[in-house]
């Protein structure tokens, strides 16, 4: 389906935290301390409270923060001003900005973006624009990059129950690069491909790997719709399905608005207590509500019969949109007439509710189980949502669900969210960082492959192992092809680390590859040498080669050994050559050389 979309990519940088020197890592959920807070909205720079902040502030959330000794400090809990910016994080941001051919701002002015859902202990997120007007090449397109910002990540949510939320603070303050694109005319399939290609591109830099380290938000709309921001993509491979569902949702809302002929001003049904209708009901849902002293508030919806039960996209009905909104705002749900009988509520009870509320033939109704004293507020919230849905496609932030649908999360934020950060000076990017960034201008995945002459498979291996920079250096220093470097510095290195829990240092790796380049050892001897380093802790490659008798045999020495095997009748078939030769002289020869020499001898 044709859509207009824009991306906001948030990429975690693999450095220390942005404004303190704590470790930047996600911990196991144990061994923590707790603090409790209340979060309230504050005024923006122009003296107004942002609509999204006001919405969250109405929930009067109680927040519990769980913090760890080595990843969290007074900065993270907002008891101490931020420290100087992490230079490694800033350098990565500059390099990535240069690769995207953007215009760097040499001075960073940090702003505070109001966030009052509790995910930031300060009630705001520190963010600064790093670069503007870049581009990301994709096939025959150039995706416009509007802004590149550097900011701090938020806390990670553990649980949310009503008005109480629990966060872990190990993630708060981890540096993020936020890349915001311009508007792209595309469809759901191409949008997914753009996102996947950009994810691969970011891995060329010093960024974190794993689930949650790159988060891709999508802003989209269709013709006649409104901009909606989709957050929380867990599986990028399902992005096309989520986008298509959202496009169909907007399409359905437009259709309902145009065809129903319903005007939101007709929504004047009064809130009615309908608890007495359920006397003697067999519905466990209602019985438990009555037992716990809850109210059951109902409302007539004039002319809406059949609309609440209409599917507006896969797995999502119009009534679900109302319920999602009410759950987020007041933590209550709804039951509506289009889905009854259900939940143990019979057809007779449904008719009694309709009669109690004064419903006509074309009317619908809904009711909500809520706390006493919240009846009017609950139904006003319901009417507010229905008016929004029937008047236009609401512009809002929506959260991606596991079934590839989305649900209401909060209103779309505006300029009132931002105000100046007063605890940080204007930060000037130093000349060395700017000069180093020039090495990355125009760098792409394809340009790396072309310049190095390597395949997609080799590049993926190097990126996955975080060995691209090291492999490029080793290739330039030793002249060995990437196939050998990957075998030794990636595959064998990974084996040794997994088996012994030891990493071979960079100087030993360089020395080892130099010995292969010089012809002093064969590449299959590398594992034996690396195992010895891991076991003994010795880093002297020359000494290990000598003690283990791993010196590569010369052409004449190898020929003499093969002649002996032939003379002794130990090579019935040429394929058995390698096994017998290894038994005799160990890993001191290349198999291809042995096959070549043996073939010549046997032919003679």
CA distances from 259 to 253, 255, 311, 337, 602 (A): 10, 6, 15, 20, 88
Give percent of the chain above pLDDT 70: 94
User: Which residues make Cβ contacts (< 8 Å) with residue 341, sequence separation at least 6?
Assistant: 347, 349, 350
- The per-residue pLDDT for range 308-330, each reduced to its tens digit, is 999 999 999 999 999 999 999 89
Instruction: Name the pLDDT band for 414 (thresholds 50, 70, 90).
Output: confident
Distance CA 540, CA 293 (A): 78
The three-state secondary structure class of 529 is helix
The three-state secondary structure class of 243 is helix
Predicted pLDDT at 60 = 55
CA distances from 297 to 256, 293, 300, 306, 383 (A): 26, 13, 11, 21, 13
Is the pLDDT at 571 greater than 70? The verdict is no
Instruction: Name the pLDDT band for 430 (thresholds 50, 70, 90).
Output: very high
The candidate with the shortest Cα–Cα distance to 243, out of 183, 321, 189, is 189
- The per-residue pLDDT for range 26-37, each reduced to its tens digit, is 999 999 999 998
The three-state secondary structure class of 155 is coil
- The per-residue pLDDT for range 152-169, each reduced to its tens digit, is 999 999 998 867 899 999
Predicted pLDDT at 115 = 85
Mean of the pLDDT values across residues 133-153?
96
Distance CA 233, CA 215 (A): 7
Instruction: Name the pLDDT band for 597 (thresholds 50, 70, 90).
Output: confident
* Phi, psi (degrees; rounded to nearest 5) at 64: -110, 125
**CA angle 127–129–130, rounded 5-degree value:** 120
* Phi, psi (degrees; rounded to nearest 5) at 332: -120, 160
Contact between 235 and 241 under an 8 Å Cβ cutoff? The reply is no
Distance CA 435, CA 367 (A): 64
User: Which residues make Cβ contacts (< 8 Å) with residue 187, sequence separation at least 6?
Assistant: 1, 2, 3
Predicted pLDDT at 116 = 79
The three-state secondary structure class of 510 is helix
* Phi, psi (degrees; rounded to nearest 5) at 327: -65, -40
Is the pLDDT at 504 greater than 90? The verdict is no
CA distances from 385 to 320, 390, 396 (A): 11, 9, 12
Predicted pLDDT at 578 = 77
The candidate with the shortest Cα–Cα distance to 334, out of 348, 320, 349, is 320
Contact between 528 and 587 under an 8 Å Cβ cutoff? The reply is yes
Predicted pLDDT at 539 = 75
The H-or-E segment that residue 580 falls in is helix 577-585
Mean of the pLDDT values across residues 109-127?
91
| Cα end-to-end distance, the chain, whole Å | 70
Distance CA 530, CA 582 (A): 19
* Buried b or exposed e, range 158-184, using 16+ CB within 10 angstroms: eeeeeeebbbbbbbbbbbbbbbbbeeb
Give percent of the chain above pLDDT 90: 67
> DSSP secondary structure string, 387-449?
HHHHHS---EEEEE-TTS-EEEEEEPP-GGGEEE-SSSPPEEPPHHHHHHHGGGTT--HHHHH
Q: For the beta carbon of residue 384, count every other beta carbon within 10 angstroms.
A: 16
Predicted pLDDT at 333 = 95
Contact between 97 and 439 under an 8 Å Cβ cutoff? The reply is no
Distance CA 330, CA 349 (A): 26
Distance CA 88, CA 435 (A): 15
In this structure, the dihedral spanned by the alpha carbons of residues 557, 563, 567 and 568, taken in order and rounded to 10 degrees, is 50
Instruction: Name the pLDDT band for 43 (thresholds 50, 70, 90).
Output: low
Mean of the pLDDT values across residues 401-411?
94
Full 3-state SS string of 328-346: HHHCCCCEEHHHCCECCEC
Tell how strand 62-67 and strand 164-168 pair up.
Answer: parallel
Predicted pLDDT at 343 = 94
- The per-residue pLDDT for range 174-201, each reduced to its tens digit, is 999 999 999 999 999 999 999 999 999 9
Predicted pLDDT at 41 = 67
Is the pLDDT at 470 greater than 80? The verdict is yes
Distance CA 311, CA 313 (A): 6
Predicted pLDDT at 196 = 93
Predicted pLDDT at 570 = 60
The candidate with the shortest Cα–Cα distance to 308, out of 335, 284, 332, is 335
Is the pLDDT at 566 greater than 90? The verdict is no
Predicted pLDDT at 265 = 54
The H-or-E segment that residue 177 falls in is strand 175-181
Predicted pLDDT at 460 = 86
- The per-residue pLDDT for range 218-262, each reduced to its tens digit, is 999 999 999 999 999 988 999 999 999 999 999 999 999 888 766
What is the DSSP code (8-state) at residue 118? S
The three-state secondary structure class of 535 is helix
Is the pLDDT at 416 greater than 90? The verdict is no
Distance CA 105, CA 93 (A): 12
User: Which residues make Cβ contacts (< 8 Å) with residue 396, sequence separation at least 6?
Assistant: 228, 229, 408, 409, 410, 411, 412
> DSSP secondary structure string, 291-318?
HTT-EEEEEEETT-TTTTT-EEETTEEH
**Residue 222: alpha-carbon gap to chain centroid:** 25
Is the pLDDT at 465 greater than 90? The verdict is no
Contact between 312 and 252 under an 8 Å Cβ cutoff? The reply is yes
The better pLDDT of the pair 131, 114 is held by 131
Is the pLDDT at 45 greater than 80? The verdict is no
Predicted pLDDT at 32 = 95
Distance CA 496, CA 512 (A): 14
Is the pLDDT at 593 greater than 80? The verdict is yes
Mean pLDDT of the chain: 90
- Torsional class of 109: left (φ above 0), alpha (ψ -120 to 50), beta (otherwise): beta
């Amino acid at each position: 389906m044709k859509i207009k979309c824009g991306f906001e990519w948030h990429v975690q940088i693999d450095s220390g935290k942005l404004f303190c020197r704590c470790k930047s890592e996600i911990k196991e959920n144990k061994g923590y301390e707790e603090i409790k807070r209340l979060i309230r909205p504050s005024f923006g720079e122009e003296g107004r409270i942002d609509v999204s902040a006001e919405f969250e502030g109405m929930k009067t959330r109680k927040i519990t923060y769980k913090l760890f000794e080595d990843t969290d400090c007074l900065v993270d809990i907002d008891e101490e001003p931020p420290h100087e910016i992490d230079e490694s994080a800033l350098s990565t941001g500059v390099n990535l900005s240069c690769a995207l051919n953007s215009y760097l701002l040499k001075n960073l002015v940090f702003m505070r973006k109001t966030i009052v859902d509790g995910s930031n202990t300060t009630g705001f997120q520190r963010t600064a624009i790093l670069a503007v007007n870049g581009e990301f090449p994709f096939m025959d397109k150039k995706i416009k990059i509007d802004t590149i910002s550097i900011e701090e990540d938020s806390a990670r949510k553990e649980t949310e129950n009503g008005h109480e939320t629990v966060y872990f603070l190990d993630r708060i303050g981890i540096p993020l690069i936020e890349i915001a694109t311009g508007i792209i005319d595309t469809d759901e399939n191409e949008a997914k491909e753009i996102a996947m290609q950009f994810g691969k591109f970011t891995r060329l830099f010093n960024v974190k790997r794993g689930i949650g380290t790159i988060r891709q938000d999508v802003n989209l709309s269709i013709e006649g719709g409104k901009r909606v921001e989709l957050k929380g993509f867990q599986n990028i491979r399902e992005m096309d399905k989520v986008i298509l569902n959202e496009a169909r949702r907007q399409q359905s809302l437009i259709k309902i608005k145009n065809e129903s002929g319903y005007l939101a001003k007709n929504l004047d049904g009064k809130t009615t207590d309908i608890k007495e209708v359920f006397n003697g009901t067999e519905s466990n849902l209602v019985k438990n509500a009555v037992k716990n002293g809850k109210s059951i508030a109902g409302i007539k919806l004039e002319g809406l019969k059949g609309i609440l039960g209409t599917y507006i996209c896969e797995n999502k009905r119009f009534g679900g949109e109302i319920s999602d909104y009410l759950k987020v705002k007041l933590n209550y749900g709804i039951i509506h007439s289009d889905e009854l009988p259900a939940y143990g509520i019979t057809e007779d009870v449904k008719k009694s509710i309709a009669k109690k509320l004064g419903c006509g033939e074309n009317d619908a109704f809904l009711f909500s189980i809520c706390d006493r004293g919240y009846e009017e507020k609950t139904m006003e919230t319901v009417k507010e949502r229905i008016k929004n849905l029937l008047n236009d496609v609401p512009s809002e932030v929506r959260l991606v669900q596991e079934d590839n649908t989305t649900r209401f999360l909060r209103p779309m934020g505006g300029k009132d969210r931002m105000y100046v950060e007063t605890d940080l000076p204007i930060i000037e990017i130093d000349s060395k960082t700017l000069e180093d960034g020039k090495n990355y201008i125009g760098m792409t995945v394809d340009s790396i492959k072309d310049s190095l002459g390597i395949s997609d498979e080799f590049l993926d291996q190097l990126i996955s192992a975080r060995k691209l920079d090291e492999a490029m250096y080793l290739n330039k220093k030793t002249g060995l092809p990437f196939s050998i470097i990957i075998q030794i510095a990636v595959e064998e290195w990974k084996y040794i680390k997994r088996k012994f829990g030891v990493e071979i240092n960079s100087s030993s790796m360089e020395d080892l590859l130099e010995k292969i380049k010089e012809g002093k050892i064969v590449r299959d001897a590398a594992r034996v040498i690396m195992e010895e380093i891991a076991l003994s802790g010795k880093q002297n490659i020359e000494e290990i080669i000598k003690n283990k008798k791993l010196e590569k045999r010369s052409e004449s020495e190898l020929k003499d050994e093969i002649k002996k095997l032939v003379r002794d009748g130990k090579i019935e078939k040429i394929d058995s050559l390698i096994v017998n030769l290894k038994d005799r002289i160990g890993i001191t020869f290349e198999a291809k050389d042995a096959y070549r020499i043996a073939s010549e001898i046997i032919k003679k």
